Chains A and B, each alone.
Chain A
Amino acid sequence: MSTSIVITSGKGGVGKTTTTANIGTALAMLGKKVVVVDADTGLRNLDLHLGLENRIVYNLVDVVEGTCRLKQALIKDKRFDNLFLLPTAQTKDKTAVTPEQMQELVETLKKEFDYVIIDCPAGIEHGFENAVAGADKAIVVTTPEVSAVRDADRIIGKLEAKGLEDHQLIVNRIKFEMTKKGEMLNIDDMTDILAIKLLGIVPDDEKIVISTNRGEPAVTDSTSKAGQAYKNIARRLLGEDVPLMEMETEETGFFSIFKKLFRR
């Protein structure tokens, strides 16, 4: 049984592409055959996150238009033999692909792969319709900011209107220190406001910048906290019961003991 999952968000810049790259890679590390599909036509970026930007010859639009066969457009990952990328076009206009064509493409991919992970463009325009067309389930990515949460709610509404009832939330870029001080929305606030099942939380991690710079997803770095969070998320997708990451930040030294004493 293969599954197609669309990674979506309302607001841009919340980490959809990072999430797609990391979940895809993590599932491949867990032995699944995975293809990550870039559905953000015009603004392709998933190739950069995976470090595969130099290998692209054909893309999703070429496949749909019949310029090449699907096999020719699929790029095998450098690190994992069972991970593939289907890049999108950088120049073609966003209307080059129809939702019907996208749905057909995803169905074809599902015959070959265990997981088809689709990176959706931000917002609720044409690109959203395409990316969602062939998806069995959706993952909504948000950050703990008012604008990102509001836009996430809009997307959840859109997903429900499309009949995609199977959707879960990832809260990205949580600053544990700020959450503890009450200066950032916490997980309970978010699930309370959005009324959606929580799939996972990802801490704000400077290492993500380094991973993206290098084109190596954080899950391949065993010291990255965000990478660990994404690995947990991938295991949850496989049906494992993995607890949420601890909110505690490592505090050492005399002052931290002092602070702990006075904490309720």
Chain B
Amino acid sequence: MDLFKLFSREQPSKDVAKERLKLILIHDRANVSPAFLDMLKSEIIRVISDYAEIDERGLEIKLTKAGEEGINNPALIANIPIRKMKESTK
């Protein structure tokens, strides 16, 4: 049994557990549901689209642990690829 494990590249299950827990606890602590994130995403798209042309499919919004000190404070990180700024804002 152990011998087989030596040759397999399977990740130890505790690492999988840790990753899953980290992600779920961020959402638990912030009390944020995937539906809420979706809502937020479409609102952001709506607002930003007034000023810039963005790549909607490339838009990514996620919650992450904030910095080093405040482990209990998650941060909302949005990655918004901009194609070009709109004429009216220049």
User: Residues on A close to B: CB < 8 A?
Assistant: 144, 146, 149-150, 153-154, 157, 179, 181-186, 189, 192-193, 195
Given A182-B12, A182-B13, A183-B13, A193 and B28 contact (CB-CB distance below 8 Å): no
Contact with A along B1-38 (1 / 0, CB 8 A): 00001000000111101101110110011000000000
Which listed residue, B5, B14, B29, touches A184 by the CB 8 Å rule? B14
Whose C-beta in chain B lies nearest to the C-beta of A259? B2
Nearest Cβ on chain B to A80's Cβ, whole angstroms:
39
Would A185 and B29 count as touching, CB distance under 8 A? no
The number of A-B residue pairs with CB atoms under 8 Å apart is 40
Task: Tell me if A153 and B17 are in contact (CB < 8 A).
Answer: no
Residues of B within 8 A of A182 (CB): 12-15
Which chain A residues lie closer than 8 Å to B42 at the CB level? none
Shortest distance in angstroms between A157's beta carbon and chain B's nearest beta carbon?
7
* CB-based contact B22/A193 at 8 Å: yes
B17 close to A185 (CB less than 8 A): yes
Asked if B29 and A157 make an inter-chain contact with CB atoms under 8 angstroms apart, the answer reads yes
CB contacts (< 8 Å) of A183 on chain B: these are 12-14
Instruction: Specify which chain B residues have a CB less than 8 angstroms from the CB of A195 in the assembled complex.
Output: 71-72
Decide: B14 and A193 in contact? CB cutoff 8 A. no
Q: How far is the CB of B22 from chain A (nearest CB, A)?
A: 6
Chain A's closest residue to B22 (CB) is A193
**Residues in B whose Cβ lies below 8 Å from that of A192:** 18
- Known interface pairs A185-B17, A189-B18, A193-B18. Does A153 touch B12 (Cβ–Cβ under 8 Å)? no
Contact residues in A for B29 (Cβ distance below 8 Å) = 153, 157
**Distance to closest chain A CB from B66 (angstroms):** 12
B13 near A193 (CB under 8 angstroms)? no
**Contact indicator B28/A185 (Cβ below 8 Å):** no
Cβ contact within 8 Å between B12 and A146? no
Q: Which residues from chain B contact A146 at a C-beta distance below 8 Å?
A: 17, 20-21
Q: Are A150 and B14 in contact (CB under 8 A)?
A: no
- New A-B contacts (16) at CB < 8 Å, excluding given A146-B21, A183-B13, A193-B18: A150-B24, A153-B29, A157-B29, A182-B12, A182-B13, A182-B15, A183-B12, A184-B13, A185-B14, A185-B17, A185-B18, A189-B14, A189-B17, A192-B18, A193-B22, A195-B71
Chain A hits for B28, CB < 8 A: 150, 153-154
Q: Find the B residue at minimum CB distance from A154.
A: B28
